[in-house]
């Protein structure tokens, strides 16, 4: 876990049941889920294997160990998981080296959260080297801390990343609003006890108790997130 704001500048969400907002990265704030698939297709092509488009829904949302492990299994590629992980991270980092496109509504939402001093964390299954690169496009000043997939014993869909982020912000998980784009991320946040706004990027996500599904971040603002918490408590 990396903090990008000194503890003395930790923001507050006074006057609201909402204590913090925790955001996924790939497919939620930045339009990179397709970049990951491109990287996977390229790496496995170089290994002599063509990926089936149907596998995309299986691997979306990570974590790398699950996604890469699945692709090794279904293709029969002669490579180890650690070896292919390095190749995939290299290919993805090269793909985003010129910057990444933000999802519609992401810049406006992050600016609003910052202006209102709402404690905010970036929680991703991507590795630290990738998060630090993408933060250049998102603005590291918009996050009090970030949690990477290679910094927790168990990453998404386990609750560990969101529990760590909530603890780092001094917030109760049940009073944290999480924004996610995949079923894997939603499962992680809900297992941690957080309230979830799902913004599906590749595969559909069904509404459920404690979860709201929207079409894009353009439908989400601070008032919406505060209502999500108060209506569930």
pLDDT tens for residues 124-175?
999 898 899 899 899 999 999 999 999 999 999 999 999 999 999 999 999 9
Pick from 176, 173, 148: nearest CA to 63 = 148
CA 71, 74, 77, 80 dihedral sign is positive
User: Which residues 6+ apart lie within 8 Å of 84 measured at CB?
Assistant: 43, 68, 71, 72, 77
Average pLDDT over residues 18-37: 92
Confidence label for 8 from pLDDT (cuts 50, 70 and 90): very low
Average pLDDT over residues 37-42: 92
CB 162 within 8 A of CB 194: yes
The CB-based long-range contact list for 186-193 (8 Å cut-off, 24+ gap) reads: 186/211, 187/156, 187/157, 188/155, 188/156, 188/157, 188/158, 188/159, 188/160, 188/161, 188/162, 189/22, 189/159, 189/162, 191/157, 191/158, 191/159, 191/162, 192/159, 192/162, 192/163, 192/166, 193/159
The pLDDT of residue 118? 97
Output the pTM of the full model: 0.81
Q: Tell me: the pLDDT tens digits for 48-61? A: 999 999 998 888 76
Q: How many helices (H) and strands (E) does the chain have?
A: 9, 7
CA 123, 154, 180, 51 dihedral sign is positive
Q: How is the beta sheet containing 20-23 ordered, strand by strand?
A: 2-3, 145-147, 120-123, 20-23, 176-180, 195-198, 211-213
The pLDDT of residue 202? 80
The two beta strands, 120-123 and 195-198, are unpaired
Q: For residue 110, how many C-alpha atoms fall within 13 Å in the half-sphere facing its CB?
A: 23
Pick from 93, 94, 26, 10: nearest CA to 62 = 26
The mean pLDDT of the chain is: 90
Q: Tell me: the pLDDT tens digits for 73-114? A: 999 999 999 999 999 989 988 888 877 899 999 999 999 999
């Amino acid at each position: 876990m990396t903090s990008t704001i000194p503890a003395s500048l930790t923001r507050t969400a006074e006057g609201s049941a909402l204590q913090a907002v925790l955001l996924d990265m790939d497919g939620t704030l930045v339009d990179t889920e397709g970049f990951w698939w491109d990287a996977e297709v390229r790496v496995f092509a170089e290994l002599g294997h063509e990926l089936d488009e149907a596998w995309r829904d299986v691997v979306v949302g990570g974590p790398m160990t699950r996604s890469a492990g699945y692709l090794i299994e279904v293709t029969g590629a002669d490579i180890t998981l650690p070896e292919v992980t390095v190749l995939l991270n290299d290919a993805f980092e090269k793909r985003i080296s010129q910057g990444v496109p933000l999802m519609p509504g992401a810049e406006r939402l992050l600016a609003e959260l910052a202006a209102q001093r709402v404690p905010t964390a970036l929680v991703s299954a991507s590795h630290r080297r990738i998060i630090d690169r993408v933060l250049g496009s998102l603005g590291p000043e918009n996050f009090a801390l970030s949690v990477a997939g290679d910094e927790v014993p168990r990453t998404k869909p386990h609750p560990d990343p969101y529990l760590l982020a909530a603890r780092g912000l001094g917030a109760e998980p049940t009073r944290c609003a999480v924004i996610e784009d995949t079923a894997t991320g939603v499962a992680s946040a809900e297992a941690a006890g957080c309230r979830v706004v799902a913004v599906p990027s590749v595969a559909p996500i069904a509404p459920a108790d404690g979860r709201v599904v929207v079409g894009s971040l353009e439908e989400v603002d601070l008032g919406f997130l505060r209502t999500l918490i108060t209506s569930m408590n």
